[in-house]
Chain A
Amino acid sequence: MAAFFDWFRWLYEATGINLTILYDAFDRQRMVAGFWTTVWLCLVCIALSVVIGVVGAWLQGSSLKWTRRAVQGFIALFRDTPPLVQIYFFYFGLGALLPRVPNAYGIPEPVLTNVQWAIISLSLFAGAFNIEIFRSGIEAVPRATVEAAEALGYSRLRAYVHVVLPLAFRICLPALNNNLVNLVKTTTLAYAIAVPEMLYVAKQIWSDATNVPEMMVFLLLAYVFLVGCVVWVMGRIERRLKVPGIGL
């Protein structure tokens, strides 16, 4: 392994291609940590945004007018504003309003860290889109199929969980794929509030080593890989859920 890393030092000396993240242990550790921070952000935000989508789409079908309006308002707010503005709004706007609590050393600290604000903000952003995506799936489930469940004595919630959602999910998977891919890419905006994810770490490294082109190429390839993983997993899910007669 050491020989492998040293080869990149030789590469730098011979050609000027400066991949410090491979031959320099400090930069390497920073980038590995940044990579895992990005992965963590992606996984948590994907999970939360899907939950928001499922619950929001259910509330959108509520018989209570104000519940439906609240969901509409939520979607309007988070779909129609730029995600960077949302992140700033949460971190600098809401964050400043929340009380500070003393930490172990007695120094006042914000209640929520920048990573937590990034998770909240990005999940709500992607969740707003997921609500609309799930709604499109739900509306494509034939009314008659839901009636069949109701005729068996299902409550609205049970029919939603056992019949509507499984069908809607299959119908809206392609659109959901797109949104989750977008979410993975949007996690780079957490850079703006100093979350040490890949873009932030890359910026730190190129400031020290002035290897901007190398880091840019690395970043592009790293995101191609990450998005590739998401697409591969979603493809697996799609194939696994495939049943005859439901268009996928």
Chain B
Amino acid sequence: MTGAAILRTEGLHKRFGDLHVLRGIDLRVAEGERIAILGSSGSGKSTLLRCLNFMELPSAGRVFFHDRPVGTEETRGGATAVRYRERDLAALRRRVGMVFQSFNLFPHMTALENVMEGPLTVLRRGRGEAAAAARRQLARVGLEDRADEYPARLSGGQQQRVAIARALAMEPEVMLFDEPTSSLDPELVGEVLGVIKALAEEGRTMLLVTHELGFAYHVASRVLFLHEGRILEEGPPERLMKAPREERLRTFLARFSEFSF
């Protein structure tokens, strides 16, 4: 594998009550990798992504950022548990950007203010500097002319591009895309995928949960197939998607009738 590991997980488990969603995930994300995560709904792919920036706290196992474990182990009354302090998680999240399925823009701020918010509040940049940087990010996603619009006045595709710009403004080392096109009208999917593709071509490290198999095939450097909380198969897209070994993956791929390379 090339490059140093930015993110790594060891034996990651996540339970929601009785529901055992992740059942031991070992994953290494090297610099410059573009990893697509596939799987049917309920396979745990979104949960895996959300555990990487601690939107969900893992039930067991550890996440390493630049080979340093996130959280501190504490022993209390004989039991060892990992404690995740707010400050540590915030420090990690500053360097790991996330884009959500439902955009989640701040509705009371314009597109420009949304993109400025992180640098202004978290990185303590000056207002002028943050605004100039935000305009550059908006230009990058092709929305410099919509800078002063509120999210409600933007289409879904535009909102998602603003959300991507907002994440990029923090200059993250890794980008996590959680089904970024799943709540978009079909004709708006292309503009968002175009932006993500451009980021991939810049060599940006990213993990992408998606149902856009064609996109995953062309953009990803590695594909993971999740099934019932485990990585069932992984490999380069050509191999994994054209010659899947696992029966489960074959049935999964067959369900996408329009899937063609």
A163 near B55 with CB under 8 A, answer: no
The minimal Cβ–Cβ distance linking A42 to chain B, given in whole angstroms, is 28
A167 near B108 with CB under 8 A, answer: yes
Assess A163 versus B106: contact at CB under 8 Å? Given A148-B100, A152-B166, A154-B121: yes
| B94 is an interface residue with CB less than 8 A from chain A | yes
Q: Is the interface of B mostly helix, strand, loop or mixed?
A: helix
Interface-located stretch among A30-38, A78-86, A203-211, A239-247: A239-247
Closest 5 CB pairs of A and B: A245-B152, A153-B94, A148-B104, A152-B118, A151-B98
Q: Mark A115-155, 1 if CB is under 8 A from B, else 0.
A: 00000000000000000000000000010110111111111
The minimal Cβ–Cβ distance linking A105 to chain B, given in whole angstroms, is 54
Q: Mark B92-110, 1 if CB is under 8 A from A, else 0.
A: 1110011010101111100
Interface-located stretch among B13-21, B22-30, B72-80, B83-91: B83-91
The minimal Cβ–Cβ distance linking B51 to chain A, given in whole angstroms, is 13
User: Can you name 19 A-B residue pairings with CB atoms under 8 Å?
Assistant: A144-B104, A147-B55, A148-B100, A148-B105, A148-B106, A149-B117, A150-B55, A151-B93, A151-B98, A153-B93, A154-B121, A154-B122, A167-B106, A167-B108, A243-B108, A244-B152, A245-B152, A245-B153, A246-B108
Contacts of B167 in A (CB 8 A): 151-152
- B: number of interface residues (CB 8 Å): 30
Q: Max chain B CB contacts within 10 Å: which of A148, A162, A246?
A: A148
Q: Known contacts A147-B55, A167-B107; can you find 18 more A-B pairs with CB under 8 A? A: A144-B102, A144-B104, A145-B106, A150-B90, A152-B94, A152-B122, A152-B170, A153-B90, A153-B91, A153-B122, A155-B90, A166-B108, A243-B107, A243-B108, A243-B150, A244-B150, A245-B153, A246-B108
Contacts of B151 in A (CB 8 A): 245
Interface residues, chain A, with chain B CB atoms under 8 Å away: 142, 144-145, 147-156, 158, 162-163, 166-167, 170, 241, 243-246
The minimal Cβ–Cβ distance linking A56 to chain B, given in whole angstroms, is 21
Contacts of A156 in B (CB 8 A): 86
A245 near B121 with CB under 8 A, answer: no
| B53 is an interface residue with CB less than 8 A from chain A | yes
Assess A245 versus B107: contact at CB under 8 Å? Given A144-B100, A150-B93: yes
B117 near A162 with CB under 8 A, answer: yes
Cα of A155 to Cα of B94 in the assembled complex, Å = 11
**8 A Cβ contacts from B150-169 to A:** 150-153, 163, 166-167
A152 near B93 with CB under 8 A, answer: yes
Cα of A245 to Cα of B150 in the assembled complex, Å = 8
Cα of A241 to Cα of B150 in the assembled complex, Å = 13
Q: Which residue of A lies closest to B149 (CB)?
A: A244
Contacts of A145 in B (CB 8 A): 104, 106-107
The minimal Cβ–Cβ distance linking B38 to chain A, given in whole angstroms, is 23
Q: Max chain B CB contacts within 10 Å: which of A145, A152, A156, A170?
A: A152
The minimal Cβ–Cβ distance linking B128 to chain A, given in whole angstroms, is 19
